[in-house]
């Protein structure tokens, strides 16, 4: 069982090491173990015990001032050289004397961090090959330091700096956290555990290491810590005994230290009763090996996916950058034509909302809806007037005054068409400003779109991008001015020539209406009074005539006298009534402007009809404008711009002199292409490494209890990797999000021993 585990571990570790060798860690985070703890908590001693070699710097105060990445490679026992080391800065130089390794670490630290105890986040990479070390990758970080050393380069915010450095390394979900804490300090105040709990609240990737157990006060032991009874971690704790300063001065070897460590635990009255897996460097190494094995197997599929995603993204980026510019003028012309075509086609497709794969490379998602923005601008044109009656601001007296005003000296009762024009024109003039605002908004949207496309599609040729943008803006301005003229003529026609063939309007308002019979005053009209008078006179005349016929001969003279008298009376009556009516009309005219003292001259129904006609006609004009203006702008600005842009750009730029000037790539584009090609080469090599053994992730590993395995699967689902850096960045993305509940209740003590 154990041999099978280590064979599988060697396979997986070899894959990770090979990925590191080709440089994949520059772009993608790989599984690793990170050691965190406070200054002087014993981190470096734990690492030396795991490696089995004495090679790390020692001294007073803070010693580890740069992160040190250890890549441990186990070699066969029959190797001629039992152990050696190489540094990343000079792989060809092999160190067999580990005192020289210590000196070189000090030298590299002083070169970057200075000689006065400064701390800097720039790792030293050390490869160690040994018959006595396991296959592991570990990173030793500078300890959390609370107070800066006197007369040193350490600043007052040294604690914040060391904490932030630790967070940067351990927040990666692919990193196993080795939290080192001394047994003779309060566990609840451990900096290592606090940092680990923030990034790994479930404790699924944190292993606790308890040091200085032999230095605890008499009568006190660390059994509760080791049994996971105080602060629970799913992977538990392991106790170790490190060499003291006195041991090191006396020349005590690590091998002897490991033997003394085992004797201490097995002969201690409390610890000897505990499972052997809870103490000793050997147990810690076994646990680290198994956890790392499971971790690598768990994340290799994600690494494969990330490699393929980055390969696709880089290929797209390289495609957008194009190949190196040829010297031949014919090929340069082809490049020019191709880039102008791409620019114009993407411009058209963006406006039309047409799916175009090139848009995914060049344009951000919010730019793709540019056509929708234009349509929204059209939809909002005069929207504030839709469904409203423009005459709501006019009182009946306003309308009545307008009717009377435009009667002039003509016969009253026949409203002039000027009345309608007088009342409607102020409202039609409101249309003018929104229409040209609409044109400005659409033009501005097209201008912004052309800028974004030019800056992205033509990014490799800044001079060409600038020239194309200038020409595009000139075409846009010219077509906008032409569209402006057309709109002015159209709006003038709509507002200054009143006409409609609208069927609804003609049916409802196209005929002359009858005056309604409203209540009248006592005087009435002359015609009406005269009609009533004549009816009475006719009745009297008929009665008199009947009586006179009986006595014709007797009263002939008398009858004639009455007849002429009637005519005289009628004439006098009509003359009086006419004078009375004219007098009333004159008074009405004199008072017509005094709105507080009069009623409207025209009856309410007539005024309401005028009001309805005004509203109806304005809505007809409004509908016409809202339909026609978008068509005018859409055709004379947008369509004409699309039709003319490609031809005019190509015609203007296609000259040998301009080709030479415009198709010169700036240095940053050349560097970016070179960097992308290097990155692509590394990613392809990494892909080949993973393809050597397609079944490597199917290795059967049964090391953890079922509950832990299920939690690990849930963690895998919840981790969302966010590649915050761009494809061209030199370092892998460090931005990861873990959707865990910070108040998660840790497992019960029954889950203390997760590793079998």
Residue 523 pLDDT class (50, 70, 90 cuts): very low
Give the separation between CA 87 and CA 590, rounded to whole angstroms: 111
What is the domain partition of the chain in residue ranges? 35-160, 171-324+702-717+726-756, 330-513+606-662
CA distance 75 to 52: 13
What average pLDDT does this structure show over 511-535? 46
- How confident is the model at residue 755, as a pLDDT? 34
pLDDT for residue 697: 63
Mean pLDDT of the 472-498 span: 93
Spatial separation of the C-alpha atoms in residues 206 and 236, rounded to whole Å: 8
pLDDT of 474 reads 93
Closest alpha carbon to 628 in 503, 501, 506, 493: 493
Report the range of poorest mean pLDDT among 54-63, 278-287, 514-523, 596-605. 514-523
Least confident of 41-45, 546-550, 638-642: 546-550
Amino acid 446: pLDDT: 93
Beta strand pairing call for 90-95 and 206-211 = unpaired
- Give whole-number Cα distances, 737 to 179, 231, 724, in Å: 21, 24, 11
Domain 35-160: state its class. alpha beta
Backbone angles phi, psi at 48, to 5 degrees: -60, -40
Report, as an integer, the average pLDDT of 570-576. Answer: 54
pLDDT at res. 219 = 84
Taking 80 as the threshold, does the pLDDT of residue 59 lie above it? Answer: no
Q: Report which listed range, 401-405, 689-693, 747-751, is most confident.
A: 689-693
b or e along 515-543 (b: 16 or more beta carbons within 10 Å of the residue's beta carbon)? eeeeeeeeeeeeeebbeeeeeeeeeeeee
Confirm if 687 and 360 have CB atoms less than 8 A apart. Answer: no
Place of tokens 């600005």: 637
pLDDT of residue 270: 92
DSSP 161-230: HHHHHHHHHHTSTTEEEEEEEETTS-GGG-HHHHHHHHH-TT-TTEEEEEE-GGGSPTT---HHHHTT-S
Average the pLDDT over 566-584 and give the result.
53
pLDDT at 440: 95
Give the pLDDT band of residue 726 (cuts 50, 70, 90).
very low
Q: Which of the four pLDDT bands, split at 50, 70 and 90, describes residue 310?
A: very high
Higher pLDDT, 453 or 406: 453
- Inter-residue contact 454 to 469 (CB < 8 Å): yes
- Mean pLDDT computed over 741-756: 32
Average pLDDT over the chain reads 77
Across the range 270-297, mean pLDDT stands at 89
pLDDT of residue 210: 94
Q: Which CATH architecture has domain 171-324+702-717+726-756?
A: 3-Layer(aba) Sandwich (3.40)
- Cα 646 versus chain centre, distance: 32
Architecture of domain 330-513+606-662: Up-down Bundle (1.20)
3-state SS, residue 88:
coil
* Structure-model confidence comparison of residues 257 and 533, the more confident one: 257
pLDDT confidence bin for 519, thresholds 50/70/90: very low
- The token pair at 136 is 């592991």
Minimum mean pLDDT range among 246-250, 600-604, 605-609: 600-604
pLDDT of 301 higher than 50: yes
pLDDT above 50 for 136: yes
The residue with greater pLDDT, 676 or 2, is 676
User: Phi and psi dihedrals of 179, rounded to 5?
Assistant: -90, 110
pLDDT, greater one: 563 or 678: 678
Most confidently modeled range among 7-11, 61-65, 165-169, 557-561: 165-169
Sequence-separated contacts (24+) of 552-558 with Cβ below 8 Å? none
Stretch among 35-44, 523-532, 618-627, 685-694 having the lowest mean pLDDT: 523-532
Q: Is 100 exposed, middle or buried (0-12, 13-18, 19+ CB in 10 A)?
A: middle
Across 232-247, average pLDDT:
89
For residues 257-272, give the mean pLDDT.
92
Tens digit of each residue's pLDDT (9 = 90 or more) over 71-90 = 888 888 777 888 999 998 88
In the chain, % of residues over pLDDT 90: 22
pTM for the model stands at 0.56
pLDDT surpasses 70 at 403: no
CA distance 242 to 45: 6
Confidence of residue 361 (pLDDT cuts 50, 70, 90): low
From 288-302, 315-329, 620-634, the region with the lowest mean pLDDT: 315-329
Closest to 341 in 3D by CA, of 327, 323, 356: 356
Inform me whether the pLDDT recorded for 559 exceeds 70. no
Give me the pLDDT at residue 656, please. Answer: 66
Topology alike, domains 35-160 and 330-513+606-662 = no
What pLDDT score was predicted for residue 741? Answer: 23
Element (H, E) at 346: helix 329-352
């Amino acid at each position: 069982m154990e041999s099978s585990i280590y064979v599988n571990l060697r396979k997986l570790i070899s894959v990770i090491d090979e990925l590191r060798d080709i440089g994949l860690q520059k772009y993608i985070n790989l599984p690793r173990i990170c050691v965190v703890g406070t200054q002087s908590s014993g981190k470096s001693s734990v690492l030396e015990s795991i490696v089995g070699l004495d090679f790390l710097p020692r001294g007073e105060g803070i010693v580890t001032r740069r992160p040190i990445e250890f890549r441990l490679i186990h070699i066969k026992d029959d190797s001629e050289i039992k152990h050696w080391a190489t540094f990343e800065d000079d792989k060809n130089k092999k160190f067999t004397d580990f005192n020289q390794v210590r000196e070189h670490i000090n030298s590299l630290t002083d070169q970057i961090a200075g000689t006065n105890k400064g701390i800097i986040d720039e790792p030293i990479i050390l490869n160690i090959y040994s018959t006595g070390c396991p296959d592991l990758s570990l990173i030793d970080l500078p300890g959390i330091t609370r107070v800066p050393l006197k007369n040193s380069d350490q600043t007052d915010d040294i604690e914040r700096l060391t904490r932030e450095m630790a967070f940067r390394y351990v927040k990666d979900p692919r990193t196993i956290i080795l939290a080192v804490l001394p047994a003779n300090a309060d566990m609840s105040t451990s900096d290592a555990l606090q940092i680990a709990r923030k990034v790994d609240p479930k404790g699924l990737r944190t292993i606790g290491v308890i040091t200085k157990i032999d230095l605890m006060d008499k009568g006190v032991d660390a059994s509760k810590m080791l049994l996971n009874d105080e602060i629970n971690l799913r992977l538990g704790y392991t106790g170790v005994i490190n060499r003291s300063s006195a041991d090191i001065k006396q020349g005590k070897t690590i091998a002897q230290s490991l033997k003394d460590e085992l004797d201490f635990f097995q002969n201690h009255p409390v610890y000897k009763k505990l499972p052997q897996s809870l103490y000793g460097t050997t147990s810690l190494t076994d646990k680290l090996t198994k956890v790392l094995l499971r971790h690598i197997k768990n994340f290799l599929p994600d690494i494969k996916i990330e490699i393929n995603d980055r390969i696709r993204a880089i290929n797209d980026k390289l495609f957008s950058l194009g190949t190196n510019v040829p010297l031949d003028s014919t090929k340069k012309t082809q490049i020019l034509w191709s880039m102008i075509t791409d620019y114009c086609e993407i411009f058209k497709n963006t406006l039309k909302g047409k799916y175009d794969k090139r848009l995914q490379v060049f344009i951000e998602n919010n730019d793709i809806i540019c056509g929708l923005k234009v349509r929204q601008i059209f939809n909002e044109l005069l929207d504030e007037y839709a469904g409203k009656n423009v005459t709501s601001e006019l009182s009946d007296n306003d309308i009545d005054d307008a009717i009377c005003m435009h009667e002039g000296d003509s016969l009253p009762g026949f409203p002039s068409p000027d009345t309608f024009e007088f009342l409607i024109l102020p409202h039609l003039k409101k249309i003018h400003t929104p229409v040209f605002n609409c044109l400005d908004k659409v033009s501005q949207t097209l201008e912004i779109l052309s800028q974004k496309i030019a800056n992205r599609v033509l990014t490799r040729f800044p001079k060409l991008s600038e020239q194309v943008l200038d020409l595009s803006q000139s075409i846009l301005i010219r077509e906008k001015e032409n569209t402006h003229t057309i709109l002015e003529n159209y709006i003038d026609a709509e507002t200054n020539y009143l006409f409609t063939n609208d069927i609804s309007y003609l049916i409802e308002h196209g005929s002359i209406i009858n005056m309604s019979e409203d209540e009248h005053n006592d005087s009435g009209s002359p015609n009406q009074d005269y009609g009533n008078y004549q009816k009475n006179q006719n009745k009297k005349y008929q009665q008199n005539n009947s009586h006179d016929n009986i006595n014709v001969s007797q009263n002939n003279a008398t009858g004639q006298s009455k007849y002429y008298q009637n005519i005289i009376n009628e004439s006098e009556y009509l003359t009086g009534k006419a004078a009375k009516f004219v007098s009333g009309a004159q008074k009405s005219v004199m008072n017509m402007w005094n709105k507080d003292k009069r009623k409207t001259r025209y009856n309410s129904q007539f005024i309401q009809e005028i009001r309805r006609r005004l509203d109806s006609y304005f809505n007809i004009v409004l509908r016409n404008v809202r339909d026609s203006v978008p068509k005018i702008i859409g055709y004379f600005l947008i369509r004409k711009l699309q039709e003319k842009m490609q031809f005019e750009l190509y015609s203007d730029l296609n000259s040998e002199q301009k080709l030479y000037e415009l198709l010169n790539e700036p240095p940053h584009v050349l560097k970016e292409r070179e960097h992308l090609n290097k990155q692509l080469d590394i990613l392809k090599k990494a892909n080949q490494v993973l393809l050597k053994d397609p079944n490597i992730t199917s290795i059967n590993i049964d090391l953890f209890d079922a509950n832990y395995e299920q939690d690990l699967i849930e963690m895998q689902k919840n981790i969302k990797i966010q590649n915050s850096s761009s494809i061209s960045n030199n370092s892998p993305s460090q931005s990861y999000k873990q959707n865990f509940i910070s108040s998660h209740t840790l497992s019960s003590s029954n889950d203390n021993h997760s590793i079998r």
